Amino acid sequence: MASIAAAKILEQRFHILPGKLRVTEYFFEVPRDYNNTKAGTLRLFARGVRKHETPVEGQDQNSEDQKKKGQLPWLCYLQGGPGMEVRLSKVTSGITHFFLDKGYQMLYLDQRGTGLSTPISASTLGLRGDDPVQAAYMKSFRADSIVKDCEAIRQALTDDYPEHKRKWSIIGQSFGGFCATTYLSFYPQGLREAFITGGLPPVTAPTVDDVYKRTSAKLVQRNKAYYAKYPEDVQRVKDILSLLKRFGNNTVRLPSEGALSARRFLQLGIAFGMHDGFDNIHSIVLQSSNDLQSFGYLTRATTNTIDQSSGFDTNILYAILHEAIYCQGKQASNWSAERVLANLPGFDHEAALQDESRPVYFTGEMVFPFMLETYSELKKVAGVADLLAKDDDWSELYDLAQLRKNDIPVYAAVYMEDMYVDFGYSMELAGEIKGCKTMITNQMYHNAVSSKTDEVLAGLWKLRTDTID
């Protein structure tokens, strides 16, 4: 791959946060298109975190020894998504403290198009031009470009480091693991090691449809498990959907100005693969059912809770590029999830409402064409989303030949019950990446690195430091 020039550091200011954290807020400038540097630039934001230490009075802070002490190895956190920013709570989380205690300093990057990194919204995207221009622009916001940003930033942050210390480590959660695999494929020379949690991508899947066939099968299991835990919700969900259908798909309005259709309500199932996901969704179902019993309609408090459970309007990149994260070469997604679920009778909510013998299944981490009609912000980019779904010309995201000769240490947490990243495909890829060590468990779900931080990171660290004969 062509070398990447260092990013330009536009601004850096540090602050001390509780927990003895020294947080530096960085703004960088990078090319929007690394293959065409005349296509403009993007402004990226990241937070650097290290331990805050109060030096002994009189100690020379400008000495060469102090300079070397300040050159701690970097560990870059790659956020899940696509299209999700890194919240401040993540920066101050147990993940940070674990790795700071191991001697690293952390970098939390808002990936391009998210957070403060030239964020994508319906209004900012509209400034680019008509739908075809906007769609072409959006193709610059996938993992291959994110990894190039990381390489540019790495070079900027380690500019004064000795050559042997300029490599950095990465940790990728979910989609961040997809990005980490892209990094290993094309720019391994910048890496010291890679940690991956719930994010070994389905590189060996023949098509996008095959990805959704696997995740749909797991979604069926999770629906059955949900209703086994909360059997009373079978009828409650049907009652709620009957109300929504009676009023019509666009009648019940949400605070975000979108419409609460039956299918949109069923998208709450995206949480089924998380720790506490069942209980959180049951709480919403219970609240909605109580409204119906008490008033015959959904109150503002309830519709607000439902509205806040989704980030599709505030993070539109997640919706319009979600299926594209599985596309390489001459392959279009063509609304894959919509087509795959159409062949699974459990997800036909119309039929399920007429059949007393079976529940209505919730949907999972999937995007559908109907969302372009019921989400107020997605409605504004409907044409762009449809163009991207039909696009069959995508850049390559992975290089299996490079992964098979990989010499970068890789430590991956793989969850057998993962609803979002198929376990089977993850293990196939683990077998393809030379030297990849895996921690496999059926006791954790997809967000375990946040919900069970100590257990996950301790397991990965053991892979790094221990050995077996």
Is the bond preceding residue 55 a cis peptide, omega within 30 degrees? no
- The answer to whether 306 and 362 are in contact (CB under 8 A) is no
The single residue of 174, 185, 289, 336 carrying the catalytic annotation is: 174
Angle at 392 between CA 387 and CA 396, to 5 degrees: 120
At residue 72, the pLDDT reads: 96
The CA distance from 291 to 287, in Å, is 6
The CA distance from 242 to 211, in Å, is 31
Tell me if residue 418 is catalytic.
yes
At residue 69, the pLDDT reads: 65
The single residue of 233, 310, 446, 450 carrying the catalytic annotation is: 446
Amino acid letter for position 234: V
Size of the chain in residues: 469
At residue 58, the pLDDT reads: 55
Tell me if residue 174 is catalytic.
yes
Please state the φ and ψ torsions of residue 60, each to the nearest 5 degrees: -80, 105
334: left (phi over 0), alpha (psi -120 to 50) or beta: left
At residue 1, the pLDDT reads: 64
- For residue 145, the number of C-alpha atoms closer than 13 Å in the C-beta half-sphere is 24
The CA distance from 217 to 214, in Å, is 5
Please state the φ and ψ torsions of residue 405, each to the nearest 5 degrees: -110, 20
The CA distance from 425 to 431, in Å, is 10
At residue 466, the pLDDT reads: 86
Please state the φ and ψ torsions of residue 170, each to the nearest 5 degrees: -135, 150
Q: Among residues 218, 177, 167, 222, which one has the least CA distance to residue 201?
A: 177
Angle at 314 between CA 310 and CA 320, to 5 degrees: 85
The bridge status of strand 41-51 relative to strand 105-110 is: antiparallel
- Neighbouring residues of 313: CB distance < 8 A, sequence distance ≥ 6: 256, 258, 375, 376, 377, 378
pTM for this structure?
A: 0.95
CA 445 remoteness from chain centre: 15
- Residue by residue, pLDDT tens for the chain (469 residues) are 678 999 999 999 999 999 999 999 999 999 999 999 899 999 999 999 999 988 766 555 555 555 566 799 999 999 999 999 999 999 999 999 999 999 999 999 999 999 999 999 999 999 999 999 999 999 999 999 999 999 999 999 999 999 999 999 999 999 999 999 999 999 999 999 999 999 999 999 999 999 999 999 999 999 999 999 999 999 999 999 999 998 777 788 999 999 999 999 999 999 999 999 999 999 999 999 999 999 999 999 999 999 999 889 999 999 999 999 999 999 999 999 999 999 998 899 999 999 998 999 999 999 999 999 999 999 999 999 999 999 999 999 999 999 999 999 999 999 999 999 999 999 999 999 999 999 999 999 999 999 999 999 999 999 999 887 7
The single residue of 418, 422, 426, 450 carrying the catalytic annotation is: 418
**Beta carbons within 10 angstroms of residue 350's beta carbon:** 10
Q: Which residues of 9-34 are buried (b: 16+ CB within 10 A; e: fewer)?
A: eeeeeeeeeeeebbbbebbbebbbbb
Q: Which residues of 121-146 are buried (b: 16+ CB within 10 A; e: fewer)?
A: bbeebeeeeebeebbbbbbbbbbbbb
